[in-house]
Structure 1
Amino acid sequence: MTTTLTHRFATMDDLPALRELMARAIDQLQHDFLTPEQVQASRHVMGLDTQLIKDGTYVMVLRDGQIAGCGGWSYRATLYGGDASVVAREPEVLDPAKDAARIRAMYTNPDFVRQGIGRRVMQICEDCAREAGFKRTEMMATMAGVPLYRAMGYEPIEDVLSAPIDGVQVPLLRMGKVL
């Protein structure tokens, strides 16, 4: 049986399904990289910023109609964090001539890991950022995402620890790439 991958940009109606996928991805895919306490704390660091949906820059890759992965790119200054996260968001618009577009909120459905889904989402986001005039991208990577991002040409910029959440900090890695 042949499966078909398609993609489309998310709408606000997709929020319940996206949030469910993100919770599963955090719970199931971070354990090889974080302590159980850090996984729990990461729920307050990670997540979806609905500004991405409002801006039309949040993409979903679907396999036979099911969300296999999602992620976005942004022309705004916010580097990471979702609506419910403890991270401050910065809605200022970036200048493609001097700033890097942001790659944001990348998640793979745990049922579809190691099948090229994350790569597909990333490629769509990079293509969109390039079409918008950006020459570079940056992201704040989770430890679980670092292997994929390195394989796609992203280089480390700086190690970061999240603000403490119930005394627990989550390790992150700011990464960048020239498009």
Structure 2
Amino acid sequence: MTARSAERTAFEVRPARPSDLARLDALFARAYPRLLKADYPPSILVTAVPLLARAQPRLLASGTYYVAETGEGRLVAAGGWSRRRDGRGEVRHVVTDDRLVRQGLGRAVLTRVLDAAALSGIDEMRCLSTRTAVPFYASLGFEEVGPVDMPLAPGITFPAVAMRRRM
């Protein structure tokens, strides 16, 4: 099925499990380069994106990271949140299958994230968005704070956009 298909993908949002690691790695590795291609130069796609496109085992085990899974067991979106030291929430490592964008998958995962954070007493969420995802986050009530360079490794940074949302 393509993103232009009139038929929606059936899915369930559930907490991630450590056993989801390999399938999430595959989703990140396939989706990030394709989704970010229009907004980042090849040098960023070659150096920074491979560092970003990896699932984080600690995050998967946190209980605050969620996946959208089809009835066939395919992971098609993911995202989560963490509590920051300042008491605010931070959106973490969001991805949607590049072949299934604009079908409500990312929105369903982020709605689950925002609801869980609110239930935990978070009154403000922050995120470091890719340039590509700024309109998506804005549609969920986030506002731009400004551009940031996210350090990934010595000599490698990723240009992102800091955003925030009152809960």
1:14-93 superposed matches below 5 A: 14-40=20-46, 41-45=48-52, 47-64=54-71, 65-75=73-83, 77=84
The change in CA–CA distance for 1:36 and 1:9 in structure 2 (over 3 A counts) is: same
Secondary structure of 1:153's counterpart equals: coil
> What is the alpha-carbon root mean square deviation over aligned residues?
2.1
CA distance in 1, matches of 2:53, 2:149: 13
CA apart distance, 1:167: 5.7
- Secondary structure at the counterpart of residue 113 of structure 1: coil
Counterpart Cα distance in 2 of 1:99 and 1:56 = 18
- Cα 1:52/1:143, change in 2 over 3 Å: same
Q: Distance in 2 between matches of 1:170 and 1:69?
A: 22
Question: Counterpart of 2:51 in 1: which secondary structure?
Answer: coil
TM-score by length of 2: 0.85
Taking the aligned partners of 2:144 and 2:25, their CA distance within structure 1 comes to 28
Distance 1:166 1:51, change over 3 A: closer
String of CA shifts for 1:80-107, please: whole Å, max 9, x gaps.
Answer: xxxxxxxxxxxxxx4xxx6211110000
CA–CA separation in structure 2 for the residues paired with 1:158 and 1:3 = 34
Structure number with higher strand proportion: 2
Report sequence identity in percent: 28
Offset of 1:169 from its aligned partner?
4.0
For 2:44, give the aligned amino acid. Q
Query: Using a 3 Å threshold, how does the CA distance of structure 1 residues 13 and 159 change in structure 2: closer, same or farther?
Result: same
Structure 1 residue aligned with 2:91: 103
Q: Give the distance between the partners of 1:2 and 1:111, measured in 2 at CA.
A: 12
CA distance in 1, matches of 2:81, 2:154: 30
TM-score with structure 1 setting the length: 0.80
For structure 2, the 5+ residue unaligned runs are 1-6
Amino acid at match of 1:148: F
State how far apart, in whole Å, the 1-side matches of 2:53 and 2:34 are.
Answer: 14
| Number of positions where the alignment pairs a residue of Structure 1 with one of Structure 2 | 159
Cα distance in 2 for residues equivalent to 1:137 and 1:151:
14
Q: Which amino acid aligns with 1:61?
A: A
Structure 1 residues without counterparts, runs of 5 or longer? 78-93
Query: In the alignment, does 2:123 pair up with 1:135?
Result: yes
Asked if structure 2 preserves the Cα contact closer than 8 Å seen for 1:61 and 1:121, the reply is yes
